[in-house]
Structure 1
Amino acid sequence: MSASPPVRLSVLDTTLIGRTPESAFADTIALARYAERLGYTRYWMAEHHGAPGVGSSAPAITAGAIAAATARIHVGSGGVMLPNHVPLVVAEQFGTLAALYPGRIDLGVGRAAPEPRTRAMLARDLVNYPADDFAGRVAELIGSLTQGFVSPRATQPPSVWILGSSSAGASLAATLGVPFAFAHHFGRGDAAAAIEHYRRHFQPSTAFPEPYAMVTLLTVVADTDAAAARLAGSADLMFRSMVAGRPILLPSPEQVDTHDWTAEDLAFAEQRRRGQAIGGPETVRDVIAGLLARTGADELMVTSQMYHLADRMRSLELTARQLPVPA
Structure 2
Amino acid sequence: QRQGLVQRELLLDTMVQNTPVAMLLVAAGGDGERRVVFANLAARKLLHSGWKLEGQRFDELMAAAPVEMREAMLRGSDSLFVIGNEEDDEEFSEEQVYHLSRRQFRLNGRSHELLLLRLLTNELRRQEVQTWKKVIRVISHELNNSLAPVASLAHSGAELVRRGRHDRLEEVFATIEERARHLEGFIRGYARFAKLPQPLLNTVDWGHFLAGLQRQIGFELEMPGDGASSRIDQAQMEQALLNLLKNAHEAGGEDASVGVKVTRLPEWLRIEVLDRGSGMNDSVLQNALVPFYSTKRNGTGLGLALTREIVEAHGGRLSMHNREGGGLCVAIQLPENA
**Larger RCO (CA within 8 A; separation ≥ 6):** 1
Higher strand share: 2
Normalising to structure 2: TM-score of the pair? 0.20
> Which of structures 1 and 2 has the bigger CA Rg?
2
Normalising to structure 1: TM-score of the pair? 0.20
